[in-house]
Amino acid sequence: MRFDLRRIYMHTVLGAIGGLLGWAFTIPLAWLQLGGTLGLFFKDTLIGALAGLAVGMALGAYDGLFASRSFKRLLKGVLLGGLVGTFGGALGLILGEAIFLLGGGGVWPRALGWALFGALVGSAQGISQWSLAKVGYGMLGGLLGGLIGGSTYERLSVLLQMLVSRELGLSAGGVIGLIALGVFIGGLIGVVEIVLRTAWLRFTRGLLEGQTVTLDRRKREQTLGAADDCGVVIPGDPDVLRHHAAILRQGNAFVVEPRDGPVLLRGQKEYAPVESHVLRHEDRLQVGKTRFTFLSEQKGGTS
């Protein structure tokens, strides 16, 4: 396993931006006073929906901003991420409030609610890319991030209210807490994907140099090319055609095949065209002028 620190960093930054936007969206609700249990649940629904909207939009932007560099995929990721985040955030905080009431109060019951919030919001990125594997990575990373970030949020808010004032606890605790929540959710989504993935591409030349792209074992075919509908979009290379090549899953193996354009495989001395090749760990390939390496946890043979 090789950590992609850039992926983790960018997920963390996007999560922090989402948390900050979530705080900005929910400022008017911090002082909203509604009587009774129904009023409490209604307020939690609004806070969860707005915070989830912000974090979901931010995390959904990752692919379009940093991987595909595609405005169309950016817009799709933001819209779907925001939609899933809104629903997941509202549901997570409602369930969290129910746990809080049934558990007799305390920080951890609320933190469990934020964990549910994180799991549901974390699924947004995978849904926007139609990837079940990434949905799983996002839900697990979001669950862990929500639990850690949510407990930090709740403890900080309570501490500031006790030591200073209720107003400071609601304001400063809210902004710091939601940013921390976004940081942990975003960062741990990136970590979980890197830890659990079993096959991926690491780009060594081209606009994506230094980045990695996870291959989804649940998909039978993942196309590589310049088109927005490719599973792996390769931007900024005029020699890469719309659907240049494909990586097929055959049993436990991945096989690369050309589509609209040639695929070159590095041999002992130089790159040469291939028609169909079973990928092995550290195989080096080229499409257009872009080069990448296939990496797998199954280093001893085919992936």
| SS (HEC) of the chain | CCCCHHHHHHHHHHHHHHHHHHHHHHHHHHCCCCCHHHHHHHHHHHHHHHHHHHHHHHHHCHHHHHHCCCHHHHHHHHHHHHHHHHHHHHHHHHHHHHHHHHCCCCHHHHHHHHHHHHHHHHHHHHHHCCCHHHHHHHHHHHHHHHHHHHHHHHHHHHHHHHHCCHHHHHHHHHHHHHHHHHHHHHHHHHHHHHHHCCEEEEEEECCCCCCEEECCCCCCEEEEECCCCCCEECCCCCCCCCCCEEEEEECCEEEEEECCCCEEEECCCCEEEECCEECECCEEEEECCEEEEEEECCCCCEC
Residues 184 and 40 placed together within one structural domain of the fold: yes
CATH of the domain at 292: 2.60.200.20
Residues 131 and 276 placed together within one structural domain of the fold: no
Residues 185 and 211 placed together within one structural domain of the fold: no
Residues 192 and 211 placed together within one structural domain of the fold: no
Nearest to 55 by CA among 157, 173, 154, 181: 181
pLDDT of residue 168: 58
Our count of domains for the chain comes to 2
Q: On the CB side of 49, how many CA atoms lie within 13 Å of its CA?
A: 9
Residues 207 and 77 placed together within one structural domain of the fold: no
Residues 173 and 207 placed together within one structural domain of the fold: no
Give the CA angle between residues 59, 198, 193 to the nearest 5°.
20
Residues 290 and 173 placed together within one structural domain of the fold: no
Where does a domain end: 196, 218, 235? 196
CA 127 to chain centre: 10
Residues 27 and 145 placed together within one structural domain of the fold: yes
pLDDT of residue 36: 75
The length of the chain is: 303
Residues 51 and 70 placed together within one structural domain of the fold: yes
Report if residue 207 sits inside a domain. Answer: yes
Residues 166 and 207 placed together within one structural domain of the fold: no
Residues 160 and 203 placed together within one structural domain of the fold: no
Where does a domain end: 162, 196, 230? 196
Report if residue 183 sits inside a domain. Answer: yes
- Residues facing residue 46 across a β-bridge: none
Report if residue 301 sits inside a domain. Answer: no
Report if residue 302 sits inside a domain. Answer: no
Report if residue 220 sits inside a domain. Answer: yes
Q: Global pTM?
A: 0.86
Where does a domain end: 163, 196, 229? 196
| pLDDT tens, per residue, the chain with 303 residues | 567 888 899 999 999 999 999 989 988 876 667 777 788 788 888 988 999 999 999 999 999 998 888 999 999 999 999 999 999 889 888 888 788 788 776 677 777 888 888 898 888 878 877 788 889 999 999 999 988 887 877 677 667 667 666 565 556 666 777 888 899 999 999 999 999 999 999 999 999 999 999 999 889 999 999 999 999 999 999 999 999 999 999 988 999 999 999 999 998 789 999 999 999 999 999 999 999 999 998 765 443
Domain that holds residue 250: 199-296
Residues 241 and 129 placed together within one structural domain of the fold: no
